[in-house]
Amino acid sequence: MKALITTLIFIFCFNFSNAQEMGFEEYNPKSTLVVPENPVERAKFTFIDVHSHQFRMATQDLSGLIKDMDRINMGIMVNLSGGSGEGLRAMLKNVNEHYPNRFVVFANVDFSGVGIPNWGEQAAAQLELDVKSGAKGLKIYKSLGLRNKDTKGKRIAIDDPRLDPIWAKCGELGIPVLIHAADPKSFWDPMDNSNERWLELKTRPRRKRSATNPAPWQQIIDEQHRMFKKHPNTKFINAHMGWYANNLDRLGELMDEIPNMSVGIGAIIAELGRQPRRAKAFFIKYQDRILFGKDSWKPEEFPTYFRVLETADEYFPYYKKYHAFWAMYGLDLPDEVLQKVYYKNAISLIPGLDSALFK
């Protein structure tokens, strides 16, 4: 009998011990909180997504995109991955032949020639040709400041004066520049138990950077801000809220310092959803300079954006744990602010959009 009791105790302790062995990745408890729930599958107002990437737009059947866009009430998609020259024209041809008022294409610049005499003027001239072909803006990838090097192998700073003709040309042409600089600061921080992006860095280790790889985070961000200030006649859309969605006080200071800078909310809704009162106040104050954008094209993820922006819901899940292991809260934005974020601000910045889609 004593042996049986000992065996049962051992089995119980062994099973209990095993039950406690769980990694952070696996721990995903279901909330027992009972609160009103108001999921939003379709945006309250027809909206413009100013931050999307469609690399096959030259050849793909666009009707599938239109079906998904209509389902979530997206009026216009801005494809930031238009390239330049012949590739850009092929995309625009497909768009113009099928859905000319539902898609906008931005051009891109190839920085591999920086260092060649008169490269900046040549790049600006090519951009002007791309705009004449139908491009409505310029998208700058994060590779500028991180990976792009000049002909001597030196990192190209975002505020490198050799690029000035491009920014000046955008101002002259009246087109916006949507620019992504750096990545979240946590990617430069030590990967330890105090890093909020630990899970993301574990599952995607290539995103981790040393404190100076290829330059300190603040240095890259400061380069961007200096460039904005140097070109006050050019309109810039700072993607991902310039990675300051987790510090809205600082972002507000920058908005005040740089009046030609607007911000997009792509890929940072999780930051806004954990500070609903502060974020709501920020959106109301800067309502004319915030634009809706999602970044990755996954239609099933848009409802989380709608719910954060439109409702007063509490403690609802985010869709990607490695971005946010916390719950979301709704900002409950006023209709007039929602309309500006969803479409009015984009119409004022991007030339030639069909405003009739939003009446």
pLDDT digits (tens, 9 = 90+) for 78-98: 999 999 999 999 999 999 999
Q: Is residue 245 part of a domain?
A: yes
Angle subtended at Cα 297 by Cα 292 and Cα 299, rounded to the nearest 5 degrees: 85
Assess if residue 17 is contained within a domain: no
Distance CA 131, CA 133 (A): 5
Per the domain annotation, does 10 fall within a domain?
Answer: no
On whether residue 215 sits in a domain, the answer given is yes
Q: Which domain, by its residues, includes 45?
A: 34-358
pLDDT digits (tens, 9 = 90+) for 212-263: 999 999 999 999 999 999 999 999 999 999 999 999 999 999 999 999 999 9
Instruction: Output the average pLDDT for the chain.
Output: 94
pLDDT for 155: 98
Residue with tokens 């990192």: 155
Q: Is residue 222 in a domain?
A: yes
Is 268 among the domain residues?
Answer: yes
Positions of the chain with pLDDT under 70: 1-20
CATH number (domain holding residue 93): 3.20.20.140
Q: Tally helices (H) and strands (E) across the chain.
A: 14, 8
Q: Is residue 269 part of a domain?
A: yes
Q: Is residue 7 part of a domain?
A: no
- Give the number of domains in the chain: 1
Model-level pTM? 0.94
156 φ, ψ to 5°? -90, 115
Torsion-angle region of residue 241: left (phi > 0), alpha (psi -120 to 50) or beta?
left
